[in-house]
Amino acid sequence: MNYTTYLFDFDYTLADSSRGIVTCFRNVLNRHGYTQPTDDDIKRTIGKTLEDSFSILSGVTDPLQLAEFKKEYVKEADTHMTVNTVLFLETKSVLIALKDSGARIGIISTKFRYRIKELLDQHFPEDFLDIIIGGEDVKTPKPSPEGLLLAIKQLHVTKAETLYIGDSTVDAETAQKAGVDFAGITHGMTTAEELQRYPHKKIMDSLEELLKQEPLPAKAPKNSNVRQIIFLLALSAALAALFYFLT
C-alpha cells in the first residue's frame, strides 16, 4: 500500500486507555445507581460518544441526563484518564518509522484533543503529529466522516493517498463514509471477523504490519526467454523431421 498519509483512531488503536475509561464510567454509573454493567460492557462502548455510551450502559435516553453524565465523566477523566493510559508497545516505533519515511501522520478521535496531547507530549516532541482532530473539533462525531475529511482538507492531501487505521466498526464505517481506505487493528474488543464486514485493505494484529511492503506482482517472461522457448520448439521440430527422413 503506497500512502503518503496515515490517520489513526486513538483509543484501542494507538493506546490502551481502557483502565481509565472503565474507572471513569464506573464512578459515574455507581454514583447514579447503575451497577449492573460489567467492565467488558464498558469496554465495548469505547469509540462511541460519551452520550451514546452512557445510554447503552444505563438505558437512559433523556438528553439532559446524558449531558450531566458526560459532564461528570469529564471531571473524573481529569483525574483518572492519562495516568491510566499507555501506548501499545509498537506504537512509538511505528509512528517514528512512518514519520522518518516522509509520511504525514495524525489522529481522528472522539476523545478530546487536549486529553490526547496530554499523553502524547510525554512520548513525542511537540508537533510530532501533523494533525489531531478531537471530539471538540467537529459538530458530528464518528461514524460521521467530518473529522476525517477535515484532516484531509487541512493536510492538503487526497483521499486516494490516505489510510485510516482503527479498531472498531465505528472506525470502519467512518472510513467508508469518507471514501478513504481502511485498515483494521485488533487491539480492542472488536474481532477481525467484525471488521472484515466492512471495506478494508487489511486487518492487522499489530501496527507493525503497516511497515511491511506489499509483495511485488509476478513479472512476465522477458523477451529473451520467449525467444529461447521459440528456438527450442523449432529445434525440436527440426530434429523430429530429420529423424523421420532418416528412418
**What is the dihedral sign for C-alpha 16, 184, 115, 78?**
negative
Residue 64 vs residue 231, higher pLDDT:
64
Q: Which helix or strand (DSSP H or E) is residue 87 part of?
A: strand 86-87
Q: How far apart are CA 138 and CA 164, in angstroms?
A: 17
Q: What is the pLDDT of residue 81?
A: 94
At residue 234, the pLDDT reads 56
Query: Using CA atoms, how far apart are residues 38 and 42, in angstroms rounded to an integer?
Result: 6
Per-residue pLDDT at 130: 98
Domain boundary assignment for the chain:
3-12+90-208, 14-82
**Which amino acid appears at position 159 of this protein?**
K
The pLDDT, as a whole number, for residue 2 is 82
Greater confidence (19 vs 240) lies with: 19
Give tens-digit pLDDT for 63-93.
999 999 999 999 999 999 999 999 999 999 9
DSSP H or E segment with residue 246: helix 223-246
Q: What percent of the chain has pLDDT over 90?
A: 83
pLDDT of residue 15: 96
> 145-192: per-residue pLDDT in tens?
999 999 999 999 999 999 999 999 999 999 999 999 999 999 999 999
Q: Please state the rounded mean pLDDT for residues 14-26.
A: 96
Residue 234 has phi, psi (to 5 degrees) of -65, -40
Q: Do domains 3-12+90-208 and 14-82 have the same CATH topology?
A: no
**Sequence-ordered list of residues with C-beta below 8 angstroms from that of 1, at least 6 positions apart, any chain:** 163, 181, 183, 201, 202, 214
Determine the pLDDT at residue 41: 96
- The single-letter code of the amino acid at 199 is P
Average pLDDT of the chain to the nearest whole number: 89
Per-residue confidence (pLDDT) for residue 212, from 0 to 100? 86
Asked if the model's pLDDT at residue 48 lies above 50, the reply is: yes
- Reduce the DSSP state of residue 185 to 3 states and report it: strand
Q: What is the mean pLDDT of residues 35-57?
A: 94
pLDDT of residue 213: 60
3-12+90-208 has CATH 3.40.50.1000 classification:
yes
How far apart, in whole angstroms, are the C-alpha atoms of residue 11 and residue 236? 67
Give the pLDDT confidence score for residue 238 in this predicted structure: 55
> Averaged over 14-40, what is the pLDDT?
96
Residues 30-39 have a mean pLDDT of: 96
Residue 133: strand, helix, or coil: strand
* pLDDT for the residue 224: 42
Q: Answer positive or negative: Cα dihedral of 233, 234, 235, 237.
A: positive
Which fold is adopted by the domain 14-82? DNA polymerase; domain 1 (1.10.150)
